[in-house]
Chain A
Amino acid sequence: MPSEMTANTPALPPTVSLEALAGASDETGFSHRRAARRRPRGPAALLTSGMLWLYAAVAAMPLLTMVLNSFRTNNELATDPLGLPADPSLAAYQEAWIEASFSTYFVNSIVVTVASVLLSTVVSLLAAYALARSRSRLLAVVEQVFISGLMMPVFLMIVPIFYLMDSLSLVSTRTGLILVYAAVSIPFSVFVLTTFFRQLPAELEEAACIDGAGPLRLFWSVMLPLVRPAVATVIVFRFVPIWNDFFYPLILIRDRTKYTLPVGLTTFFGEYQTSWATLFAGLVIATVPLVVLFLAATRQIITGLTAGMGK
Chain B
Amino acid sequence: MVTAFTYSLSSWRGTTQEEFVGLGNFIHLFTTEPYRTQVPRAFGHNMLLFAGAMVVQNSLGLFLATVLHRRERFKRLFQVLYTMPYLVSPLVIGYLWSLLLSPLFGPVNAALRAVGLDSLALPWLGDPSTALWVVVLVTAWQWVGFPLLVYGAALGGLDPSLDEAAELDGATARQRFFHVTLPLLTPVIGTVSVLTFIGAMESFPIPYALGGSTGSPAGATDVMSLLFYRTAFQSGSSNAIGTSSAIAILLFLIIFGFSVLFTRWFRRTEKRLF
Contact A290 B87 (CB under 8 A): yes
- Determine if A81 and B105 form an interchain contact, defined as CB atoms under 8 angstroms apart: yes
Interface check A51, CB cutoff 8 A: yes
Question: Does B26 lie at the interface of the complex (its beta carbon under 8 Å from any beta carbon of A)?
Answer: no
B100 at interface by CB-CB < 8 Å = yes
Check if B100 sits within 8 Å of A30, measured CB to CB: no
CB–CB A159/B245 < 8 A: yes
Q: Which of B75, B188, B228 contacts A309 (CB 8 A)?
A: B188
Q: Report if A220 contacts B (CB, 8 A).
A: no
Q: Is the CB of B1 within 8 A of A152?
A: yes
- In the complex, what distance in Å separates the CA atom of A274 from the CA atom of B88? 24
B202 and A77 within 8 A (CB): no
- Please give 17 more A-B residue pairs, beta carbons under 8 A apart, in addition to A265-B91, A269-B98, A290-B88: A28-B75, A52-B74, A55-B60, A63-B85, A69-B99, A152-B1, A155-B202, A156-B4, A156-B248, A158-B232, A159-B232, A160-B4, A246-B89, A266-B209, A280-B99, A283-B99, A290-B89
A8–B141 alpha-carbon span in the complex (Å):
38
Residues on B with beta carbons closer than 8 Å to the beta carbon of A51: 67
CA distance A309 to B91 in the complex (A): 27
Q: Is the CB of B82 within 8 A of A56?
A: yes
- Please tell me the number of chain A residues within 8 Å of chain B, measured between CB atoms: 61
Partner of B100, one of A65, A240, A251, A310: A65
User: How many A-B pairs with Cβ below 8 Å?
Assistant: 175
Neighbouring A residues of B191 by C-beta, 8 Å: 309
Contact residues in A for B92 (Cβ distance below 8 Å): 244, 262, 265, 283, 286-287
Partner of A60, one of B79, B81, B187: B81
Within 8 A of A (CB), among B189-239: 191, 202, 204-205, 208-209, 225, 228-229, 232-233
What residues of chain A lie closer than 8 Å to B122, measured between beta carbons? Answer: none
Q: Which of B54-87 contact A (CB under 8 A)?
A: 60, 64, 67-68, 70-82, 84-85, 87
B150 contacts A by Cβ under 8 Å: yes
Binds B, one of A32-40, A91-99, A111-119, A171-179: A32-40
Q: Any chain B CB within 8 A of the CB of A3?
A: no
Take A81-B110, A302-B149 as given contacts and tell me if A157 and B64 are in contact as well, using a CB distance cutoff of 8 Å: no
- Does A135 touch B at the CB level, under 8 Å? no
Partner among B70, B99, B105, B149 whose Cβ is within 8 Å of the Cβ of A305: B149
Whether A155 and B248, one on each chain, are in contact in the complex, defined by CB atoms closer than 8 angstroms, is yes
Q: Give 9 closest A-B pairs by Cβ, nearest first.
A: A244-B89, A81-B110, A306-B153, A310-B153, A310-B157, A155-B248, A160-B3, A156-B4, A56-B81
B contact residues around A158 at 8 Å (CB): 232, 248
> Which residues does chain A contribute within 8 Å of B248, judged by CB atoms?
153, 155-156, 158-159
Q: How far is the CA of A287 from the CA of B229 in the complex (A)?
A: 25
A311 CB contacts on chain B under 8 angstroms: 154, 157, 187-188
- 11 pairs, A vs B, C-beta closer than 8 Å: A59-B81, A77-B105, A81-B110, A153-B202, A155-B228, A159-B4, A240-B87, A244-B90, A265-B95, A283-B96, A311-B157
Complex: A69 Cα to B248 Cα, angstroms = 39
- Tell me whether B202 and A276 are in contact (CB under 8 A): no
Which residues of chain A have C-beta atoms less than 8 A from B202's C-beta? 153-155
Q: A153-B251, A305-B146 are in contact. Are A30 and B156 (CB under 8 A)?
A: yes
Q: B136 within 8 Å of A by Cβ?
A: no
A152 to B255 alpha-carbon distance, docked (Å) = 11
In the complex, A290 Cα to B202 Cα: how many Å? 23
Q: Which chain A residue has the least Cβ–Cβ distance from B98?
A: A269
Across the interface, which residues of A come within 8 angstroms of B241, CB to CB?
159
Q: Whole-angstrom distance between the alpha carbons of A236 and B218 in the complex?
A: 39
Using A55-B82, A59-B141 as known contacts, say yes or no to A262 and B89 having CB atoms under 8 A apart: yes
Whether a CB of chain A sits under 8 angstroms from the CB of B249 is yes
Tell me if B96 and A66 are in contact (CB < 8 A): yes
Q: Which of B68, B85, B153, B188 contacts A59 (CB 8 A)?
A: B85
